[in-house]
Amino acid sequence: MLNLNSVEIIDTFAEAFPIKASRLIFTAVNLRWARTAASVFCGNATSVIACDIEAAVEREMSESETPDGRPGISVLAFGFDTTSLGKSLQNRVGQCVLTCPTTACFNGLFDCPKEKQVRVGGGIRYFGDGFQKAKKLGDRRFWRIPVMDGEFICEDWFGTVTGVAGGNLLFCGNSQSSALGAAEAAVEAIAQIRDVALPFPGGVVRSGSKVGSRYPKLKASTNDAYCPTLQGLVTSELPPHCQAVYEIVIDGLSFAAVQQAMRAGLHAASASTGILRITAGNYGGKLGKHHFHLRDLLDNPKA
């Protein structure tokens, strides 16, 4: 049996999938408004099972890191394909960032070939009703759209890469508070890592899902094997005395980034009080080509 900090680690793997990814940088007069833009942009973006994209904040950015020298927020967004991702980015930037006081929006992935770029600013420029203006700096083109507090600056084209979606960990605790504390510790540790994002609320999932349902129209349904109230009614995967399970789902720009995040999350959660077991979700290796084996994550993340 595997263990870490006296916590049982199931010898299994998380199964993840290729997905198209982009990075957007939102800046504003201060972090409050940059955070607001990011928060609204990332609304209803937890899972592509039922949302147009998955999106979450990657990190805060200082004035020295952003294109316009203002405080910023980096957001990662993920979609099934480049075309649908581009449409969603255009819609969300137009509705959630253009409308937010003092903001600007910049491409956060550079050196992408033209065929892997999606148009954002070039699509929402028409809101300027003919008063919009284009400005080119080197190879980068920006649109200046007049709004009531000045101008909204938005880059024309945004790069995309093939990322990884669905890295995951499940924390089984002897109480709701212990399981949640472990999940929160994992989220905090993962927040220090670049190129990854946690799309669920606060980075934590309470409603883990399985593929399929007894209702034909549903693609996914509750993961009954991990529901404490269903013990005795279904084949349970819960250890004795488990009262709650929380999951974290990790999307990233590369396999290495997701693996690093899972390692950090595993070590942080295993040090929490009241954790009985840590495991991961998969589909028998039949659906996703990226497999993150928990036994490979047991070494020290800082080593």
Q: Give the N- to C-terminal CA distance of the chain in Å, as an integer.
A: 23
Give pTM, 2 decimals: 0.95
In the structure, what pLDDT confidence band is assigned to residue 301 with cuts at 50, 70 and 90?
Answer: low
CA–CA gap between residue 176 and residue 243 (Å, rounded): 6
Mean pLDDT of all residues in 105-109 = 97
Determine if residue 241 is left, alpha or beta; phi over 0 gives left, psi from -120 to 50 gives alpha, anything else beta: left
CA distance 40 to 69: 22
> For residue 112, what pLDDT is reported?
87
**Chain segment 142-179, per-residue pLDDT in tens:** 999 999 999 999 999 999 999 999 999 999 999 999 99
Mean per-residue pLDDT for 19-41?
Answer: 98
| Residue 302: pLDDT band with limits 50, 70, 90 | low
What confidence score (pLDDT) does residue 1 get? 81
Only one residue has tokens 């099972």, namely 49
Burial category of 196 from C-beta neighbours within 10 Å (exposed 0-12, middle 13-18, buried 19 and up) = buried
Domain 19-161, what fold?
A: Alpha-Beta Plaits (3.30.70)
**pLDDT of 32 above 70:** yes
Of the pLDDT bands very low, low, confident and very high (cuts 50, 70, 90), residue 113 is: confident
C-alpha distances out from residue 159 to 169, 268, 284, Å: 29, 33, 33
Q: Which residues, at least 6 apart from 162, have a Cβ–Cβ distance to it below 8 Å?
A: 18, 19, 20, 21
> What are the residue ranges of CATH 3.30.70.520 in the chain?
2-15+163-297, 19-161
Dihedral sign of CA atoms 127, 132, 134, 135 in order: negative
Say what the pLDDT of residue 147 is.
Answer: 98
List, for residues 61-89, the tens digit of each pLDDT value: 999 999 999 999 999 999 999 999 999 99
- Is the per-residue pLDDT at 303 higher than 80? no
- C-alpha separations of 28 from 36, 103, 106 in Å: 10, 4, 11
Cα-based distances in Å from 19 to 77, 93, 140, 197, 203: 10, 20, 25, 13, 19
Instruction: Give the CA-trace dihedral at 194, 199, 202, 206, to 10 degrees.
Output: -130
CB 294 within 8 Å of CB 227: no
Mean pLDDT of the chain: 96
78: exposed, middle or buried (Cβ count in 10 Å: 0-12, 13-18, 19+): buried
Q: Which CATH number fits domain 2-15+163-297: 3.30.70.520, 3.30.565.10, 3.40.50.1390, 3.30.200.20?
A: 3.30.70.520
